[in-house]
Each structure stands twice: as structure tokens, then as C-alpha cells.
Chains A and B, each alone.
Chain A
Amino acid sequence: MNQPQRLLQSYLMRHKWSYLLSLLSILCAQIVQVQYPNLLGRYTDLLQRHKVTALVTLHYSLWLLLVGLGYVILFGIGQFRNGQLGRRFEFEMRDALFKHWETLSTAYFRRRSIGDLLNHAMSDVQTVREIMSMGLNQMTTAVSLLGSALVMTLTTISVRLTLYAIIPLLLVPVIILVIGPRIRKASRKVQEGLSDMAELTEESLSAIRLIKATANENIEASRFQKRVDTILHRQVSMIRLFALFQAVFPFVESLAFCIVLLYGGYMAIHGNIQLGGFVAFTLYLGMLVQPLQQIGFVINNWQRASASMTRLSILMSEMPDIVDPELPLSIDKIQGDIRVDIPRYQYADGIVPVLEDVSFSIDKGHTLGIVGRTGSGKTTLVNLLPRIFDPPAGSVFIDGHDVRSLRLEVLRDGIAYVPQDGFLFSDTVRENIGFSVENATLEDIEQAAKDACVYDDVVDFTDGFETLIGERGVALSGGQKQRTSIARAFLKDAPILIMDDSLSAVDMNTEKRIIEHIRHVREGKTTLIIAHRLSAVRHADLIIVLDKGKIVEQGTHDELLKQGGIYADMFKLQQEGEGVVV
């Protein structure tokens, strides 16, 4: 059994009493409701037979009132409880999804688009929730109303009238099951058209400078127009079906009504049923049509919900591929000696190796510089260390232990990481810098900010360290982001620090100051620096030059210059060219 269904089932089990209560109250509500036509019918008969007095009238009115009150309360309770339970399910499902996602590796997120995942978390869960609350409400209501109404018409009025009247009504679910899927298909077409248009809009607006600079506004507008026209076209086809749907129900109901009018009237004329029975039946008719309609809708929605359920199942059954080893080493803290010996590494979805014959080692407290062109495998290499991607067994060692034999928590607690894009959360500066350290003091945070040369920027913000950043707050520049995430990594103060080209948006002077600070702050600890500008790795104890996944040169700055290879070339080029500050 797959997970969400198990989740759904366990949810239903855990809340079985609540569900029982709400189902019962809806059932009772319908049983109460069907008394309505019955009361009116009996009253009609009494009227016909002139047995009515003012007191009898009052009596019946009060009964009607009581029935009305009972129905409203019972149904209200059932409806609300179901809705509430549905929302709780939605809440638990999303929570489970998020926690599940947190266990999945970067390789997984490389394959999936975030928009897609979001859609699952929002729409699919919502669809399932709707079938659980609204669908359940409607189904319970429909079944119990249909049942009670049939019992009432069969027992209190006439079996034959009931059977005749119900014939056209049986068309209702059939129509829904025939047209429903076609409407769904048409609506999917519309949705596709809409996302097509949204995509084009995003593309055009992202390229607005280009469009303006090339006087291409009209061309873009006509491309946009094409998408919009397609939408209109598809909408109209969908609407036709939908209109048919809308028109056909009242029509079927009226057919049934006509039978009641003719056959019921005939029976009333011939005294086979009382006038009260006839009156009551016309009222019951609505109670038969409505549930049949609802049952059809619920079946349709159920199909949609089960598709959502399947998608959620697939999501939840995705196994985390980077997990704790079965028998982890009993080590609580790592020191920072690194040895790498990778014969060959390629991504699961790749065809060519990203790394080949990469071997080096650095001792605790030393600094490793990694340089090479874009796509030479630098980021991949450092990502193997904290197991963002899993290295082959027996290829990456920390303190002599294979990283895959350490508990993930121990491994990752020992590594601080600065990503290339300086990813930050939409939270305060303080929360961002103190991300990995619970209850970090403001002083510590300020010190980390100073070391990362972002302190002056932060105190210039209106709320200082309490300033919100991101969409709802201050938009940081690329350099500010990088420096803030450097501060975050400094605060973690781990035995190993990895900086993945995280000085690229920082100007040269600041870079120099940060490098200074690193040498001071990271005294005795291991640091790995990926850089494009060689000035950032000049001081490293060991520099490796990667090219197409292979180490082509390694040594200290001076050694590499003497070798007169790629590194020396790069150095010369940068000395000449990058004199102009970028």
C-alpha cells in the first residue's frame, strides 16, 4: 500500500469517531428533512377533509418549524465537522510532504521543477481534501436523502408513482458520467492554453530590454495575441459542453415532474392517492433529483481526486537516496583532514563522467584552492564532501573515514558551506546569519557579519540586523547576499568550510579583506575555496586546477607559476585584463 493512501486510511481511522458523528448527524438531518413533504401532505389531506382547525394548523406549523430547526442544526454540525476534518487532513498531508521533501537529495530537486512540486503540495492536496470534506458531505447527504426520500414515497404515497417518476431521473448520473470527462478534458486544454500564455508573458517580460532595443514590441504582441486567441477558442468549446450540462438537468427534472403531474394527477383524480400525497410527491421530487445530481458530481470529483492521490503517492514513495549508513561509525565530531581519491564520478542522469582520476589530500587546518573553467567539475567536487551528491564508496574520506560511513548529522555538522548564489531565506538578517546556530547571541552574529564584511551594510538598513530581506523586505545585491551567506557559514564555525565561488560578486578590495579574515578566523581549520579570480586562492596551501573533470595541475601558487601551465596563463591574463574593475 502506498503512503498517502495509508496516510488517508490512518487518518480516517484516527478520526473514525469524529467521522461517525458527522456522518450520523448528516444522516439524521436528511431523515428529519424528508418529514417536511410528509407533514405538508398530511396537512393537505386534513384540509381536504375539512378536519383542520386553527389549533391543528398551529400544530403543523410548529412541527414544520421544529423540523426546520432540527435539520439546520444537524446538517450544520455534520457539514462543519467534515470541513474541519478535511482541513486537518490537508494540513497533515502538507506537513508530511514538506518533511518528506526535506529528506530528498539535491539530485531529486535537479530533476523536478519547483513549480511542479508546489502544484502537488497545493492543488493535489486540495483536491483530495475537497473530496474528503465536500465530497463526503455531498455523498452522505445524497445517499441518505435519496434513501429517506425513497422510503417516504414508497411507503407513504405510491410505489408505482415512485417507480415511474424515477425513470427519467436515472439519466442524471449517466449524463454526468458521459459529459463530465469531456468537460474535464476541455478544461485541461484551457489550462494548457493558459500556462502557454503565462510562459510567453514571462519570457517576453524577461526579455523586455531586448524587445525594446530591437523595436520588437509589435511582434511580441502578436505572438501573445495568438496565445490569447487560442485560449478564447478553447474556452468556447468548453463552455458549449458546460452549457449543455447546465441546461439538461432542469430538463430531466421537468420530465419527471411531468410524469408526476400526469400520472399522480390521474391517481389523485381516481382516488388512488390523496391530494396530500400528490402535493408531497411534487416536493419529494426535488429530493430525488438533487442527490442523483450530487452523486454524479462526486463520482467525477472522485476520479480527479484519485488522480491527485496517485500523484501524491508517487511523490511520497520517492525514497531518499542519501541516508545515514546502516552501521554508522560512532564518531561525534570530525576534525578536518580530507582525502579524495575519485577514479570516476558521473551524475545518475549524466552520460559523461564529471570527475575523473581526482586525487588529493589536505590536512586539518590547511586551505585548498580549486580553480578551473566553468563546467570543469569544481562545484561537483566540493558537493561530494557534505554528500549533497553521493560520492562512490571509498573515494572521499574525512579524518580517514569514508564520508558515507559517517552519520549525516555528524558529517554535515562538521561542514560550513557558502553557495555560489548566496541563497538566503526571506527572514531577518539576524535569523539568516544565525541559521544554523540555535540561540546565537547578537554579538556572535555581529562578529560573523564583521568578519564577512557585511556588517556596515547591515547597520545601514533601517532595522539593522532585524531587517527583513527578500520579497517582502530589502532586496540585497548579489555581493551582499554572498557576504551574508559567508557570515552564516562563519558563525557555524565548522571544522571544514567550503566556499563555492562565493566571492564572485564581491569587489576586489572587499574580497581581499574577507580573505584576510578567513585566514584569521579559520586558523587551524580546513577551508576549501573555489574561485575564478586567482587572487582569492593565492594564499592556499594547495591549489588544484581542474579541466574537464581532471586535475591538470596542482601545487602552491608559486609552484604553479613556475610550471608555466594553465594556471600561469590564467594568472597572466587576469593581471592584464582584470585590471579594469568589473
Chain B
Amino acid sequence: MMADVSAPKSSDQLSVRSLVHLARFAVPFTWHFLGVVALVIVFNTTSVLQPYLVKLAIDNDIASKSFHGLEVIAVVYVSIVIIGALANYTQVVLLQYAGQSIIQRIRMALFRHIESQSMAFFDKNAIGRLVTNVSNDTETVSQFFTQFFLSVVRDGLSVVMVIFAMFRLNAGVAWQCMVIVPVIFIISFAFRKRLRVSYQTARTRLSSVVAFLAENLAGIRIIQIFHQERRQANAFLTLNDRHRQANVKSYMTSVMFNRSLDFLGNVSVAAIVYVGGLRVLHGAMEFGTLYAFISYIRQFFQPINALTQQWNNLQSSSVSADRIGRVLAVEPLVTDNKDLVNSLSDEEVRGAVEFQDVCFSYKPGEPVLTDISFRVRPGEFVGFVGPTGAGKSSIMALLTRFYDPVSGVILLDGEDIKSFLQTDLHRHIGIVQQEMFLFTGSVKDNIRLFRDDISDETVVESAKVVGAHEMIMRLPRGYETHLVGKGSNLSTGERQLLGFARIVALNPKVLILDEATANLDSQTESLVQKGLTAVAKNRTTLVIAHRLSTIRHADMIYVLSKGRIVERGNHEELVSAQGLYADLYQKSGIEFEMEQTAHP
């Protein structure tokens, strides 16, 4: 069963495991990260040395009134600061470079992975969500590799180094200072869950606000026509207010948490003054040392505060990493079989298609196709008709391996299509869909699909074959005309023609045509019809027909009903057989008669 990657998981189970899983993308940047650690150590050392230098200044130079000593210290101090600044700069650049490169790789991997999925995956996962995975989730995860990593290394090391410095200065006082460590843990632990819960509540409510807005702006006309402005405004008010409350609560929690740590810091300074002051009083310690301790205690709390700020970062990164991980974990259902590769060259393919007892279902227990068998000779033109849901499109989806059949075999030139590489198969079998998709780019690139191996001449040639050339030349910049995504600057008919030109340029041996149902006007229709005839020439053509006129002259027509082929033959044979086809053929007439008797 295919996993629906958008399925939300209980937030409590979210762990950093998914982040660790993504860490494999970080492996090539090990040296960068080690470099960052080294630079952080340099930078931190320079920071930790500063109070110590002041201590020296106080205890040695000022006490002994030696200005020369002060000068020396000032020079040392400035050098240290310069080294620190350089280390800091290099570290930021190095780390961000590594982090962004990792994201670049994750994005590429994700995109390729999504591309390799079978259609079943796209049936289950909304494109909007996948786009979010590729753009936003990766962005969020990058914070883990940059900010979070840095904070742990830099702030973690700071804490350690400050502690080390304190012990070097005066182990006795340092031990007493260590009392605050468990207190910090207790405070953090007490707030941890509340912080997480309130943060998540706020996020969830934010997404409801966004979803509501998006939907209502799209449907504003409905609201206005039904005169429900007040109702929707009230609904928005509620959502909006719930979002506000969650935020205030979340903010309250974090203010309390940060101020508690702040307070603890202040208590510590007061305590150190008391403890250290008494020592200085008894001559057990120099005053400069007390000064250094006060500075260190303050330096100690800074990184801890910074570390706790990373909590939300870790939260959102792991949520995002989890989403990415779930996409990456989905194995493509349709894969190439590397062992039996069949490499018929483009010229060798003749275009014979055969289905042998093919059964298929999207969901177990709900068969879509049952025992489908037929044979199409090279160059033949065959039609498939039948009511919606009869399985016409599914047959085509199997032939292109968008899905694999549950049982049975599909053959191209007598070879199982599974024995072809998918890329080869798709070169041999082309499909023109109802919905003509256009990319943002020039007309030319839309015909050749951005491929370098299709020359400009081929593009023009193909357009001429299907009768699209004149239409294209009428566009402002001909073949260079820029089309916007979704092709809204072309009419349906024009888009169809481009689609035909595209298929001619790609030149497959077998062509599948999902005939457009849209009501084209008669002029466009005749254009499209001509294009279609041109495309079908010299190719095996399988048409899903919505109008009988298209397939009237087909070599063979298969009539489908409920996933089975119920009739086959050419138009005349089927009409005289008086079966479903004949019914379909005459249906409109019959219908009108019935209606007339119902309403005289």
C-alpha cells in the first residue's frame, strides 16, 4: 500500500531521527563542519581570554601602577580581537556554505525522487504539498544544519570553556558556581513541554487562518452572491482570535522562561559577589579574580539563553525533516528491471501492441480492468469507447507504465514492456492528453520540451506537419513567443495544436490519444482534426474517443464496460451487432423521444 506522505503523525513521536536520517547529505561536508568547529574554538577562546586579560590588568598593572603593562595587554587584546573577528567571519561563511550546499543536494534528491514515482504517488499526494516539501521544508531543515549546529557547537563550547576557565582561576569558587547547572536543567525541563505545546498550537492555528483566507478569497464571489459576508467574517474572527490567543500564550511562556533564566543569572552574580567577596575579604582571592568570575557567570548565561532559543528551531526542523523523510522513503512502485534490458533501437521498433489477460485495480478489491486482451498491428488506428469509468484511460496508463498491471502481460513488438527501460519505452510510446500542459518558456521550448537534441528545424517541421505553423507565426514573436505557465495566453485549440507538434517532434512509434472533451468551436475543431490525422500517419494510434465521428473509420473499435471489453469490430460491424455500441450511437435520439413523451 502506498503511503500518503502528508498523513500527520502524532507530534509527540516526532524525534530528531528524521534529521539524523538527512545527515547523510551532510557527510560530504564533514571537513567544512570540522573547520567550523575549529574556528569556533578559536573565536570562543578569544572571548574567554578577554575577562582574564582585564583581571591581569587589574591585579598586576593597575595595582602596581604600571602603564607599560597596560599597553602590552592592550596590544595583546587587540590582536586577540582581530583573530576572533577573522575566525568569526570565516566560520559564518563556511558554515552557511556547507548548510546551503546540503540543502541544494537534498532538493535535487527530493526532486528526482518525486519524479521517479509512479502515478499512484501523485494520485495520493497533492502537488501543493510536494512543492512545499521541496521549497519550504528544505529551507527549514537548513536551519538545523546552520543555526542549530552552530548554536550547539558555539554555545555548547562556550559553556564548557567558561567552566574550564573558572576552574583554572579558582577551583573552589568554580565548584560552588556549579550549583546553578542543575537549577538550569530543572528550569528548562519544567518549561520544555509547555514551550513545545504552545508553539505547536500556535503553528496549527496559523495554518487554519491561512487556509481559511486562501479559500475564502477564492470563493469571495460565492460569499457575496449568497450575501454571507457577516457569517464568514465571524468565522474568520474566531479563527483569527484563536490564533492570537495561542500566540500570546506561547509568548507568555517564552517570556517567563527567558526571564527565569535571567533571574537565575542575577541570583548567581549576587551569590558570587557574596561568596567571592568574603574570600577577597579574607585574602583568599584577588579582586581581579572576583571580577573575572562575575564576567564569566554572565558569559555563562548568554550561550545557555541562545541554546534555549534553538528549541523552536529544532522543533520545526524535525517536523520538516520528517516530512521530507517520508517522501524520500516512498519506493517508486514502477521501476526499471536492470537485469533484462531490452534495447530495441528507435528504428527497430515497429509499434505492435498486445495486451494478454491484463487485470488492474487502483485499490485491492475494486477491479478497474478485467481480462483485457487485444492486439494492435503496426500502423493500425484503433478506438476505445465506453461510458466514464469503463477503464479506457486505465488501459493507456498501463501501456505507458504509469502503473503496472496486477496480472497479465503487455507487449510491445512481442516484448514485455517491463523489459524496457522506462525512458526507452516512453520514447517509443507517446501520449497526447486531454489537458494540454504548457510550460513557462518559449513556444519553441514547449514543442521540444527544452531538449537540446531537437533542432530548431525539427521544431518548425513538426509544427508544419500538424498545421500549427501559421498559428505560431501569428504570435507576437513567433517561435520565441514567451508562454506563461498553464498557457493562459493561448486558446484551447491552439494548445492542442502545440501538443500535436510536440508529439511529432518526439516522433514515437505508438501514439495514444486522449481525445479532448471540451467543446471546441467548429473552426478549431476542424484544425485539430486535421492535426490529428497528420499525427496518426505512419504510427500505431490508440484513441480514447469521446465523439464517435473520430473513430468511425478506425480499423478496430473496442467497446468497454465496467473494465471489460464487451464488443469489438469496426463501426459497421458494431452498429449491425445491435449491442452497446449501437445503443450508444443512437442514444441521444432515444433520449429526446423519451423526454418528449414525458413533457408533451
Contact = CB atoms under 8 A, between A and B. Distances in A.
Interface string B555-595: 00000000000000000000000000000111111011001
Contacts of A61: 270-271, 273-274, 277
B273 A198 contact: no
Nearest to A90: B244
Contact of A219 (B211, B241, B450, B591): B450
A419 B57 contact: no
Interface in A241-261: 242-244, 246-248, 250-251, 254-255, 257-258, 261
Interface in A457-502: 470-471, 488, 492
A244 B269 contact: no
A57 B226 CA distance: 76
B411 interface: no
Contact of B287 (A47, A87, A488): A47
B77 A261 contact: yes
Nearest to A117: B217
Given A225-B108, A538-B595, A72 B263 contact: yes
Contacts of A208: 115, 119, 122
Contact of A388 (B210, B221, B228, B485): B221
B135 A201 contact: yes
A388 B449 contact: no
A199 B485 contact: yes
Interface in B70-98: 70-71, 73-74, 77-78, 81-82, 84-86, 88-90, 92-93, 96-97
B291 A539 contact: no
Interface stretch (B20-28, B180-188, B252-260, B304-312): B252-260
A261 B54 contact: yes
Given A261-B74, A412-B227, A508 B273 contact: no
A417 interface: yes
Contacts of A425: 215-216, 219
B220 interface: yes
Interface stretch (B163-171, B364-372, B542-550): B542-550
Interface in B189-224: 209-211, 213-224
B547 A258 contact: no
B134 interface: yes
B546 A582 contact: yes
B147 interface: no
Contacts of A229: 104
A423 to B, nearest CB: 5
Nearest to A207: B437
Per DSSP, chain A at the interface is helix
Interface stretch (A77-85, A171-179, A353-361): A77-85
B139 interface: yes
B473 interface: no
Interface residues of A, number: 143
Contacts of A164: none
Interface string B450-461: 110000000000
A269 B231 CA distance: 77
A419 B240 contact: no
Given A65-B270, A535-B591, A254 B78 contact: yes
A217 B122 contact: no
Nearest to B134: A201
A248 B269 CA distance: 29
Nearest to B90: A243
B591 A580 contact: no
Nearest to B91: A243
Contacts of B139: 194
A348 interface: no
B326 interface: no
A7 interface: no
Interface stretch (B11-19, B29-37, B61-69, B464-472): B61-69
A198 B138 CA distance: 12
A485 to B, nearest CB: 8
A373 B521 contact: yes
A222 B248 CA distance: 45
B225 A388 contact: yes
A214 B430 contact: yes
Given A64-B270, A210-B437, A251-B85, A243 B423 contact: no
Given A217-B423, A262-B74, A373-B519, A69 B263 contact: yes
Contact of A436 (B100, B226, B423, B584): B226
Interface in A71-115: 71-73, 75-76, 79-80, 83-84, 87-88, 90-91, 94-95, 98-99, 101-106, 109, 114
A54 interface: yes
B119 A209 contact: yes
A228 B100 CA distance: 10
Contacts of B277: 43, 47, 52, 57, 60-61
B162 interface: no
A76 B229 contact: no
B449 A99 contact: no
A72 B259 contact: yes
A377 to B, nearest CB: 14
A209 B227 contact: no
A212 B281 contact: no
Contacts of A578: 547, 588
A182 to B, nearest CB: 16
Interface in A343-383: 373-374
Interface string A215-250: 111011101110011011001100110111011101
Given A54-B278, A262-B70, A206 B225 contact: no
Interface string A270-288: 0000010011001000000
A268 B236 CA distance: 65
B101 A62 contact: no
B223 A250 contact: no
Contacts of B74: 258, 261-262
A246 B270 contact: no
A211 interface: yes
Interface string B515-556: 001110100000000000000000000000111110000000
A228 B128 CA distance: 19
B270 A68 contact: yes
A213 B119 CA distance: 11
Contacts of A580: 385, 545-548, 584-585
Nearest to B117: A208
Given A90-B244, A203-B485, A265-B70, A216 B65 contact: no
Interface of A: 40, 43-44, 47-48, 52-54, 57-58, 60-62, 64-65, 67-69, 71-73, 75-76, 79-80, 83-84, 87-88, 90-91, 94-95, 98-99, 101-106, 109, 114, 117-118, 121-122, 194, 197-217, 219-221, 223-225, 228-229, 231-232, 235-236, 239-240, 242-244, 246-248, 250-251, 254-255, 257-258, 261-262, 265-266, 268-269, 275, 278-279, 282, 373-374, 386, 388, 408-409, 412-413, 415-417, 419, 423, 425-426, 435-436, 438, 470-471, 488, 492, 507-508, 512, 532, 535, 538-539, 574-582
14 contacts: A43-B273, A61-B270, A75-B259, A94-B240, A106-B221, A213-B400, A213-B431, A246-B92, A247-B92, A258-B81, A265-B57, A415-B225, A425-B216, A582-B388
Interface of B: 47, 50, 53-54, 57-58, 61-62, 65-67, 70-71, 73-74, 77-78, 81-82, 84-86, 88-90, 92-93, 96-97, 100-101, 104, 107-108, 111-112, 114-116, 119, 122, 126-128, 130-131, 134-135, 139, 209-211, 213-229, 231-233, 236-237, 240-241, 243-244, 247-248, 251-252, 255-256, 259, 262-263, 265-267, 269-271, 273-274, 277-278, 280-281, 287, 291, 294, 385, 387-388, 400, 402, 422-427, 429-431, 433, 437, 439-440, 449-451, 485, 492, 502, 506, 517-519, 521, 545-549, 584-589, 591-592, 595, 599
- Give the top 3 A-B pairs by smallest Cβ distance, nearest first: A68-B266, A243-B92, A215-B426
Given A87-B244, A228-B108, A412-B226, 13 more contacts: A60-B273, A68-B263, A91-B240, A194-B135, A225-B108, A228-B104, A243-B90, A247-B89, A269-B65, A278-B62, A435-B222, A512-B595, A581-B587
